[in-house]
Amino acid sequence: MTAPAFSAAAPSPAPAPSLPAWVWVKVFTRLLAIQGAWNYESLLGNGIGFCLEPALRYLPGGVHGAAFKEAIARESAYFNAHPYLASVAVGALARAELSGVPADRIERFRTALCGPLGSVGDRLVWAGWLPFASLISLAAFGLGARPLLVIGIFLVLYNAGHLALRIWGLRVGWTRGLAVAPALGNPLLRRGPAHVARAAAAAAGVALPLTAARVLDGGPALLAVVLVGAALVSILLVRVHGRVEGYKLALVLIALFALLSVAR
Amino acid sequence: MTELLPLMLLGAVIGLDVVCFPQMMYSRPLVAATLAGAFVGDATRGLLVGVLLELIAIATLPFGASRYPEWGSAAVVGGAIAATLHTDRAGVITLGVLAGLATAWAGGWTLVKLRQWNAYLARRRRPALDAGARGAVIGLQLAGLTGDLVRAALLTGVAYAVLFPVAVHLAGAWSFSGPPSRSVVILLATAVATSAAWVIFHSARGARWYFAGGVAVGLLLLLVR
């Protein structure tokens, strides 16, 4: 019977050597480019190897040693995760490799880590924090903010969460190693997506009418017509969800409108 | 078109942010179109295009290997076209949004091709990767980043070069006045954003009430302003 690679009851990590600060700077900078070679076959795999490479140089024998080459080959294989939460994997895998954890255990750990880091990250970031930051900025626009303030609000708000998540992930991965599972039960990751979704829903409610009013720059009657029309079309879009993409529908209808405008 | 080369550079840097580096989301339409507008002299017009594209882009969820429009370079093209037209004709913002949407559609296709190219390069380097060659890992990453930079630059350049003359022609022949021109595009953008908000958030307990409360606050703010 083999030990589980990834469970809440995983043992405490073996002591690992400390790495110089510049190595962490390199690893973190590379994390920002983790999707540089993303493809439909190995997905994020090459990016994981790329991010780990500065840390793996500290394996016995250095970059020319067998341990380094085996680790690079192992870590560059197929991997899938949300790009921001991949920092958890990079931290944990660096710890495991430098602690001399057996290869088969590392490979099982990598496999087990893919699912949680993908689904949690997608819900928390792509379906939560990103639309939330976007809608807050749109609300600021609707309230009359100038261009610099609108984009400043978005970039500061979004990246406060983005960079904090990457730094937290790298830190918790390195600290916990293969015992990182309990950290993924962090309340922020478990309940955060639902809280962010509710906040984003409220922000959407505030932002949409305000944004429409500022762009339209017309009277209240026309605004009412636009908002009611938008509500009706949105109901239709929800009903055909999965069959029609909103942006393609908008592209076709706006193109037809433009043709009508020049043809009449 | 003296602005073409600088816009290609801007589109390249912004397109790279969409997936590859550093994903700080200055490639979101709200930011990218505003920057492009400012680049050619009219940040406010760029922002208007960016806001409308951002509403539509909320529906895009870049999950895993899903295929989605590329909004970064697209917003640069849309924002720059609206800002460069130098006319107060009613259809300028609408044409900027239209150019942005068309470029986003094409951009999604270029992302797929880039990923297939990355896979081809990785297959070619498979023996070196299996042997643990650090040069192969780093080389593939740099090739992917360079490929994306070039992809975004070419996309921006081609889209702008093709769509700008079309937009000039259409703006000259535009017949609708301002309110109907704006109302059609804002109606569609708001509808896409509202349906996206519903699809994304409705599964969170109580989210529909938060949305309804938000709408009430938004309408109240409109009334008191």
Q: Which of B105, B108, B115, B103 lies closest to B156 in space, CA to CA? A: B103
What pLDDT, on a 0 to 100 scale, did the predictor assign at position A9? 45
The residue in chain B having the minimum alpha-carbon distance to the alpha carbon of residue A138 is B51
What pLDDT, on a 0 to 100 scale, did the predictor assign at position A5? 45
Using the beta-carbon criterion (under 8 Å), do B95 and A202 form an inter-chain contact? no
Q: What is the DSSP letter of B73?
A: H
Using the beta-carbon criterion (under 8 Å), do A262 and B22 form an inter-chain contact? no
* CB contact B220 to A (< 8 Å): no
Please list the pLDDT of chain A residue by residue as tens digits (264 residues): 334 444 444 455 556 678 999 999 999 999 999 999 999 999 999 999 999 999 999 999 999 999 999 999 999 999 999 999 999 999 999 999 999 999 999 999 999 998 889 989 999 999 999 999 999 999 999 999 999 999 999 999 999 999 999 999 999 999 999 999 888 888 888 899 999 999 999 999 999 999 999 999 888 999 999 999 999 999 999 999 889 999 999 999 999 999 999 998
What pLDDT, on a 0 to 100 scale, did the predictor assign at position A13? 53
* CB contact B7 to A (< 8 Å): no
Using the beta-carbon criterion (under 8 Å), do B188 and A253 form an inter-chain contact? yes
User: For chain B, what percent of residues have pLDDT higher than 90?
Assistant: 91
**ipTM of the prediction greater than 0.90, yes or no:** yes
DSSP per-residue codes, A40-87: TTTBTHHHHHHHHHHHHTTSTTGGGSHHHHHHHHHHTS-B---TTTHH
With both helix axes pointing from N to C terminus, report the angle between A130-142 and B43-57 in degrees, rounded to the nearest 10.
140
Mean pLDDT, residues B83-99: 89
> Residue B102 — very low, low, confident or very high, per pLDDT cuts 50/70/90?
very high
Number of inter-chain CB pairs under 8 A, A vs B: 338
Tokens of B26: 């200055």
What pLDDT, on a 0 to 100 scale, did the predictor assign at position B55? 98
What are the chain B neighbours of A215 within 8 Å (beta carbons)?
48, 51-52, 93, 182, 186
Using the beta-carbon criterion (under 8 Å), do A246 and B174 form an inter-chain contact? no
What pLDDT, on a 0 to 100 scale, did the predictor assign at position A8? 44
Task: Write down the domain spans for chain B.
Answer: 4-224
Using the beta-carbon criterion (under 8 Å), do A39 and B61 form an inter-chain contact? no
What are the chain A neighbours of B31 within 8 Å (beta carbons)?
151, 154-155
The residue in chain B having the minimum alpha-carbon distance to the alpha carbon of residue A231 is B191
Using the beta-carbon criterion (under 8 Å), do A72 and B132 form an inter-chain contact? yes
Of A154, A213, A249, the CB nearest to B28: A154
Averaged confidence pLDDT in chain B: 95
